[in-house]
Amino acid sequence: MKRYWPGFKILDRYILGKFLATYFFAIAMIIVIVVIFDYVEKIDDFTETHAPLKEVLFTYYLNFIPFFINQFSGLFTFIACIFFTSKMAYQTEIVAMLSGGMSFRRL
């Protein structure tokens, strides 16, 4: 079954897929690191108030993660753009796209 996205060519879908995969991977990796550091920093506060682990994980961090993603979405976009274009340049995919007739502005 063919997926049809009007206005998107195969190469556009390929580039968008690479970017989105890198974007969500960057979000996941940075969120894991931030949550670990935040938990280690606040573990004394959690133990002093006898906060149950379920409340900490499902109340505090489920509200903290969307807030953090919203605050740093520009940074995640920048990181994903740098990583995916450098990977495409390393594998000479950009040269192939340009020699295939794609304009540099469209890339």
Q: What is the pLDDT of residue 95?
A: 83
Where does the pLDDT of residue 2 fall: very low under 50, low under 70, confident under 90, or very high at 90 and above?
low
Helix, strand, coil abundance in the chain, percent, nearest 5: 80, 0, 20
Tokens of 12: 């556009």
Work out the number of other CB atoms within 10 angstroms of the CB of residue 61: 14
Q: Tell me: pLDDT of 78 over 90.
A: yes
